[in-house]
Amino acid sequence: MFTKIFDNINNKHPLVHCITNYVTVNDVANVLLACGASPIMADDVKEVEEITSLCTALNINIGTLNSRTINSMLKAGKKANELSHTIVLDPVGAGASSFRTNTTFDLLENIKFSVIRGNISEIKTVDKGSGTTQGVDANVSDAVTELNLDEVVAFSKRLSKRTGAIIVITGAIDIVANSEKAYIIRNGHSTMSKVTGTGCMLSAMIAAFVGANQEEPLLAATAAVCTMGLAGELAYKRIMEEDKGSSTLRTYIIDEISKMTAEKLKEGAKIEIK
Amino acid sequence: MFTKIFDNINNKHPLVHCITNYVTVNDVANVLLACGASPIMADDVKEVEEITSLCTALNINIGTLNSRTINSMLKAGKKANELSHTIVLDPVGAGASSFRTNTTFDLLENIKFSVIRGNISEIKTVDKGSGTTQGVDANVSDAVTELNLDEVVAFSKRLSKRTGAIIVITGAIDIVANSEKAYIIRNGHSTMSKVTGTGCMLSAMIAAFVGANQEEPLLAATAAVCTMGLAGELAYKRIMEEDKGSSTLRTYIIDEISKMTAEKLKEGAKIEIK
Amino acid sequence: MFTKIFDNINNKHPLVHCITNYVTVNDVANVLLACGASPIMADDVKEVEEITSLCTALNINIGTLNSRTINSMLKAGKKANELSHTIVLDPVGAGASSFRTNTTFDLLENIKFSVIRGNISEIKTVDKGSGTTQGVDANVSDAVTELNLDEVVAFSKRLSKRTGAIIVITGAIDIVANSEKAYIIRNGHSTMSKVTGTGCMLSAMIAAFVGANQEEPLLAATAAVCTMGLAGELAYKRIMEEDKGSSTLRTYIIDEISKMTAEKLKEGAKIEIK
At C111 the three-state DSSP class reads coil
Structural domains in chain A (count)? 1
Q: What are phi and psi of C139, to 5 degrees?
A: -80, -15
User: Mind telling me how many Å the CA of C29 is from chain B's nearest CA?
Assistant: 6
Residue B134 has pLDDT above 70, yes or no: no
Kindly tell me if the per-residue pLDDT of C147 is higher than 70.
yes
Determine whether A134 is exposed, middle or buried from the number of CB atoms within 10 Å of its CB (0-12, 13-18, 19+).
exposed
In DSSP terms, A170 is beta-bridged to none
CA dist., res. B176 & res. B219, Å (int): 9
What confidence tier does C131 reach under pLDDT thresholds 50, 70, 90? Answer: low
* CB burial readout A100-121, b (16+ within 10 A) else e: bbebbbebbeebebbbbbbbbb
- The Cα of C161 is separated from the nearest Cα of chain A by a number of Å equal to 31
Edge-to-edge strands, sheet with A57-61: A38-41, A15-19, A57-61, A86-90, A115-118, A166-169, A174-177, A182-185, A271-273
CB C198 within 8 A of CB C191: no
The DSSP secondary-structure symbol of C112 reads: -
Cα–Cα nearest to B200, from B269, B141, B264, B250: B250
pLDDT in tens, B162-190: 999 999 999 999 999 999 999 999 999 99
A87-111 pLDDT, tens digit each: 999 999 999 999 999 999 999 999 9
Q: Which amino acid is at A234?
A: L
Q: Alpha-carbon distance C26 to C180, whole Å?
A: 35
* pLDDT above 60: residue B121: yes
Contact A33 C196 (CB under 8 A): yes
Q: How far apart are CA C34 and CA B245, in angstroms?
A: 8
Average pLDDT (B94-111) is: 96
Site from B255, B256, B260 to mutate, A interface, most A CB atoms within 10 angstroms: B255
A42-62 core/surface letters (b: 16 or more CB in 10 A; e: else): bbbbbbbbbbbeebbbbbbbb
Residues of chain B in contact with residue A196, where contact means CB-CB under 8 angstroms, are: 26, 29-30, 33, 39
Q: What is the pLDDT of residues C78-92, one digit of tens each?
A: 999 999 999 999 999
CB atoms within 10 A of CB A263: 11
Whole-number mean pLDDT of chain A? 95
Asked whether C117 and C61 are in contact (CB, 8 A), the reply is: no
pLDDT of residue C138: 43
pLDDT of amino acid B221 = 98
Which amino acid type is present at position C257?
I
Q: Tell me the chain A residues in contact with residue B51 when contact means C-beta distances shorter than 8 Å.
A: 96-97
Q: CATH number of the domain that A42 lies in?
A: 3.40.1190.20
What residues in B contact C255, CB-CB < 8 Å?
244-248
Q: What is the DSSP letter of A17?
A: E
Give the pLDDT confidence of A109-137 residue by residue, as tens digits. 999 999 999 999 999 999 988 755 444 44
pTM for the structure as a whole: 0.96
Lowest mean pLDDT segment, chosen from A217-221, C29-33, C140-144: C140-144
DSSP collapsed to 3 states, chain B: CCHHHHHHHHHHCCEEEEECCCCCHHHHHHHHHHCCCEEEECCCCCCHHHHHHCCCEEEEECCCCCHHHHHHHHHHHHHHHHCCCEEEEECCCECCEHHHHHHHHHHHHHCCCCEEEECHHHHHHHHHCCCCCCCHHHHCCCCCCCCCHHHHHHHHHHHHHHHCCEEEECCCCEEEECCCCEEEECCCCHHHHHCCCHHHHHHHHHHHHHHCCCCCHHHHHHHHHHHHHHHHHHHHHHHHHCCCCHHHHHHHHHHHHHCCCHHHHHHHCCEEEC
Task: Write out B1-62 in H/E/C secondary structure.
Answer: CCHHHHHHHHHHCCEEEEECCCCCHHHHHHHHHHCCCEEEECCCCCCHHHHHHCCCEEEEEC
In angstroms, the separation between the Cα of residue B50 and the nearest Cα of chain C is 26
CA distances from C85 to A52, A154, C46, C189 (A): 37, 63, 20, 32
What pLDDT digit, counting tens, does each position of B211-243 carry?
999 999 999 999 999 999 999 999 999 999 999
User: DSSP class of residue C188?
Assistant: -
Distances (CA, A) of A177 to A31, A53, A97, A220, B164: 23, 28, 27, 12, 54
Residues of B in contact with A24 (CB under 8 A): 26, 29
| DSSP conformation letters of A131-165 | T-SS-GGGGS-SS--TTTHHHHHHHHHHHHHHHSS
Average pLDDT over residues A178-191: 98
Q: Are C168 and C143 in contact (CB under 8 A)?
A: no
Q: Which domain holds residue A180?
A: 2-273
pLDDT of residue B207 exceeding 50:
yes
Parallel/antiparallel/unpaired status of strands B166-169 and B174-177: antiparallel
Alpha-carbon distance B20 to nearest alpha carbon in chain A (angstroms) = 10
Q: In 3-state terms, what secondary structure has residue C270?
A: coil
Residue A118: what are its φ and ψ, rounded to 5°? -165, 180
Of the candidates A27, A66, A96, which has its C-beta nearest B51's C-beta? A96
The answer to whether C264 and C258 are in contact (CB under 8 A) is no
Task: Identify the residue among B26, B32, B238 best suited for mutation to test binding to A, counting A beta carbons within 10 A and taking the highest.
Answer: B26
Instruction: Output the pLDDT for position B143.
Output: 83
Question: Among residues C201, C204, C207, which one has the least CA distance to residue C188?
Answer: C201
**Residue C40 belongs to what H/E stretch?**
strand C38-41
* Predicted-assembly ipTM surpassing the 0.90 threshold: yes
- Supply angle C-alpha C153, C237, C271, rounded to 5: 25
State how far residue A243 is from chain B, nearest Cα, in angstroms. Answer: 9
Write out the H or E segment, with its range, that includes residue C256: helix C246-258
Would you say B47 and B76 are in contact if contact means Cβ atoms under 8 Å apart? no
Residue C133 has pLDDT above 60, yes or no: no
Least trusted range by pLDDT, from A141-155, C98-112, C161-175:
A141-155
- A197 among the known binding-site residues? yes
Residue A87's DSSP bridge partners are A58
Among the partner residues C34, C44, C250, nearest to B245 by beta-carbon distance: C34
C36 to chain B: closest CA residue: B194
C13 DSSP assignment: -
Residue type, A53: S
Who among A24, A67, A247 is closest to B255 (CB)? A247
Report the greatest alpha carbon distance in chain C. Answer: 53
Q: Contacts of residue C64 in chain B, CB cutoff 8 Å?
A: none
When scoring B20, B23, B41, B65 by the number of chain C Cβ atoms within 10 A, the one with the most, hence best to mutate, is: B23
| Interatomic CA distance for residues C28 and C143, integer angstroms | 25
Residue of C nearest to B62 (CA): C42
Q: Which residues contact C102 (CB under 8 A, 6 or more apart)?
A: none
By CB atoms closer than 10 A (0-12, 13-18, 19+), residue C138 is exposed
Q: Subunits with at least 3 CB pairs below 8 A relative to chain B?
A: A, C
The tens digit of pLDDT for each residue in B43-93 reads 999 999 999 999 999 999 999 999 999 999 999 999 999 999 999 999 999
pLDDT tens-place string over residues C238-249: 999 999 999 999
Handedness of CA C138, C144, C147, C150 (dihedral sign): positive
**Which positions in chain A have a beta carbon within 8 angstroms of at least one beta carbon in chain B?**
21-24, 26-27, 63-68, 93, 96-100, 193-197, 244-248, 250-251
C212-254 pLDDT tens trace: 999 999 999 999 999 999 999 999 999 999 999 999 999 999 9
Residues in B touching C47 (Cβ below 8 Å): 65, 97-100
Instruction: Answer whether C67 sits within 8 Å of A51, measured CB to CB.
Output: no
The rounded distance, in Å, linking the Cα atoms of C188 and C236 is 9
